[in-house]
Amino acid sequence: MAFVSETDASLEKLSPEVEQPWRETRRILRSMDRSRRATNPGNYDTAGRVKRGVKRWVRSEHYKRRRRDLAETERRLAAARKTAHGNLANRILAQGKTIKGEKLCYSSFQKNFGRSVKVRAPGMWVERIRRKAESAAAADSSEIDPRKTRLSQFDHTTGHYVKKPLSLRTHVFGDGRTEPVQRDLYSAFLAKCFEKDFLDISRVGKSWPGAEPLPRRAMSRVKKPASREGLSRPHVRNVRAGRPSKGKMGSGCPRSRSGEAGDAVAQARAPESRISIL
């Protein structure tokens, strides 16, 4: 997730403190499957596959107990994700009144990055920001179609669009003088200069000299995560130590200083500013 505002920029992993206990979940599912097969041997063929047709399933108390353990694991994961989403949404809404983001297909994300989307839930996070912005009378949110704008391909130093592979995460400017910048941060900066249905190129040229230090500072924070100076939020570390206790999630959701500011919707906004999210 990358965002750029008038005074800050950041490139970070969405909800890094939320981790799915995949090993524990896999153990619970395997235990449930063994219990289901032991109590319903007639529902499986010689190859171990479920027979066709209507069947009656008998669920033992052990199966029900393991199913409750799985539900508790997912409940804790959802609670940690909700807290992380709320903290990040509040931090972004505190940056300005006008929020612009890319219009993405999250169902495609689920097909290509199913495990990660299941844990991070980017679509849920974007929807939460939208609801918070709509609840605040002074806030406004909008979406930009990336297929029409092609922000990641545009170079304001030459005024041309250069197609780049998805694996290339660094934008190299065509003038040969400007230092390269991270691709998502540069696209977020361009989105900040997007007005209605077109990109204001003259505004981009005027704004870039003053905004250039922001994405470079964000890039340095990503390269040096141990350095806490200038961070817009504390560097999140995994709070797990050693093996997790039985029946509990592998990682917790530490409290962030960003939560001390409270709900950004309920607070008075800063002077008029724009923030773009990619």
Q: What is the DSSP string of 144-207?
A: E-HHHH-GGGEETTTTEE----TT--EEPPTTSSSPPEEHHHHHHHHHHTEETTEE-HHHHHHH
Q: Which helix (H) or strand (E) holds 3?
A: strand 2-5
- Across 122-138, average pLDDT: 84
pLDDT for res 186: 92
Residue 209 placed within a domain = yes
Residue 48 placed within a domain = no
Amino acid at 180: P
Flag whether pLDDT at 193 surpasses 50.
Answer: yes
Question: How many helical (H) and strand (E) elements, i.e. helices and strands, does the chain have?
Answer: 9, 11
The CB-side HSE value for 42 (13 A sphere, CA atoms) comes to 6
Residue 137 placed within a domain = yes
Nearest alpha-carbon partner for 278 in 72, 103, 107: 103
pLDDT for res 138: 57
Residue 225 placed within a domain = yes
Flag whether pLDDT at 149 surpasses 60.
Answer: yes
Flag whether pLDDT at 28 surpasses 90.
Answer: yes
Flag whether pLDDT at 258 surpasses 50.
Answer: no
pLDDT for res 66: 96
Residue 127 placed within a domain = yes
Tokens 């890319």 correspond to what residue?
Answer: 102
pTM: 0.71
Proportion of the chain above pLDDT 90, given as a percent: 33
In this structure, what token pair is assigned to residue 264? Answer: 């950004």
Indicate the range of 79-83, 243-247, 270-274 predicted with least confidence.
243-247
- Across 41-63, average pLDDT: 94
Beta pairing, strands 274-277 & 98-102: parallel
The answer for residues whose C-beta is within 8 angstroms of residue 6's C-beta and 6 or more apart is 95, 96, 273, 274, 275
Q: Count structural domains, the chain.
A: 1
Residue 106 placed within a domain = yes
Task: Give me the domain span that covers residue 138.
Answer: 2-12+86-233+259-277
pLDDT for res 235: 40
Residue 238 placed within a domain = no
Nearest alpha-carbon partner for 158 in 204, 193, 111: 204
pLDDT, tens only, 82-95: 999 999 988 888 88
In this structure, what token pair is assigned to residue 41? Answer: 């041997």
Flag whether pLDDT at 194 surpasses 80.
Answer: yes
Residue 223 placed within a domain = yes
Dist CA 182 CA 31 (whole Å)? 45
- Residue 39 pairs in a beta bridge with none
Residues in the chain, overall count: 278
Complete DSSP assignment for 221-242: HHH-TT--TT-SSPPP-----S
Dist CA 240 CA 249 (whole Å)? 9
In this structure, what token pair is assigned to residue 56? Answer: 């009656």
Q: Which residue has the higher pLDDT, 221 or 249?
A: 221
- Across 63-70, average pLDDT: 96
260 falls in which pLDDT band (50, 70, 90)? very low
The CB-side HSE value for 231 (13 A sphere, CA atoms) comes to 17
